[in-house]
């Protein structure tokens, strides 16, 4: 499974990273990547920035390098800390068509977010609200929705063949072997 995140107002696009802060005085920014491996963020063509009440716009990353748990980068035309501060909180997006094809049974997180989750006994737990990366395995964060069995949020390990029995993108349903009391 590959991580990426879909913004609710970004139909046809996938969020692949975000700007967390300005870095230094020469317009550099701090970036957190949602891609796997993290450096893949810098390989996409058609990279856009969106958020902070602005319409999405194309952006060019001129330079980048690893720094701490993320990256620092210089965006073309962003030459001061004041300019870089304006980008804080904005997200990088790419068209869904820019994503690499995955092997059968592999999914991007953005494909799973929003899907309904049901037990093998067809009891609806809710919808995938987000995903977590724990190191050992990814986790589905399942939030209650209309017709779910209760209002509980559930953390369900994404373990295909063990916990996750089926992912059906066409019917927008994930079937899990998971006790409803967890």
pLDDT at 62: 95
**CATH code for position 162:** 2.30.30.240
pLDDT digits (tens, 9 = 90+) for 121-166: 999 999 999 998 888 899 999 999 999 999 999 999 999 999 999 9
Say whether both 61 and 28 belong to one domain. Answer: yes
Say whether both 120 and 54 belong to one domain. Answer: no
Say whether both 83 and 138 belong to one domain. Answer: no
DSSP for residue 105: T
- For 175, list phi and psi in degrees, rounded to 5: -105, 130
Residue whose token pair is 């995140």: 5
Residue 154 is assigned to a structural domain of this protein: yes
Last residue of a domain, one of 68, 98, 128: 98
Residue 182 is assigned to a structural domain of this protein: no
Last residue of a domain, one of 64, 98, 132: 98
pLDDT at 36: 83
Residue 162 is assigned to a structural domain of this protein: yes
pTM here is 0.70
Domain that holds residue 123: 113-176
Say whether both 24 and 68 belong to one domain. Answer: yes
Query: What's the structural domain count of the chain?
Result: 2
pLDDT at 6: 39
Q: How far apart are CA 37 and CA 122, in angstroms?
A: 35
pLDDT at 9: 40
Give the neighbor-by-neighbor strand order of the sheet with 61-67. Answer: 54-58, 48-51, 91-95, 13-23, 28-33, 70-75, 61-67
pLDDT at 3: 52
Under 8 Å CB-to-CB from 129, ≥6 apart: which residues? 113, 141, 142, 143, 153
Q: How far apart are CA 134 and CA 84, in angstroms?
A: 31
pLDDT at 119: 96
Say whether both 78 and 126 belong to one domain. Answer: no
Residue 40 is assigned to a structural domain of this protein: yes
Residues of the chain with pLDDT under 70: 1-11
pLDDT at 7: 38
């Amino acid at each position: 499974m590959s991580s990426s995140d879909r913004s609710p107002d970004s139909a046809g696009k996938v969020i692949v990273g975000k700007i967390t802060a300005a870095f230094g005085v020469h317009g550099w920014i701090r970036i957190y990547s949602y891609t796997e491996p993290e450096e893949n963020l810098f390989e996409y063509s058609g990279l856009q920035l969106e958020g902070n009440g602005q319409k999405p716009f194309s952006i060019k990353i001129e330079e980048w390098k690893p720094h701490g748990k993320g990256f620092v980068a210089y965006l073309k035309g962003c030459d001061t800390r004041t300019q870089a501060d304006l980008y804080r909180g904005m997200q990088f997006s790419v068209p869904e068509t820019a994503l690499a094809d995955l092997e059968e049974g592999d999914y991007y997180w953005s494909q799973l977010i929003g899907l309904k989750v049901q037990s093998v006994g067809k009891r609806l737990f809710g919808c995938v609200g987000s995903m977590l990366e724990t190191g050992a395995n990814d986790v589905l964060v399942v939030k209650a929705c209309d017709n779910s069995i209760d209002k509980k949020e559930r953390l369900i390990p994404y373990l295909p063949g063990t916990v996750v029995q089926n992912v059906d993108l066409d019917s927008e349903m994930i079937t899990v072997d998971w006790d409803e009391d967890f």
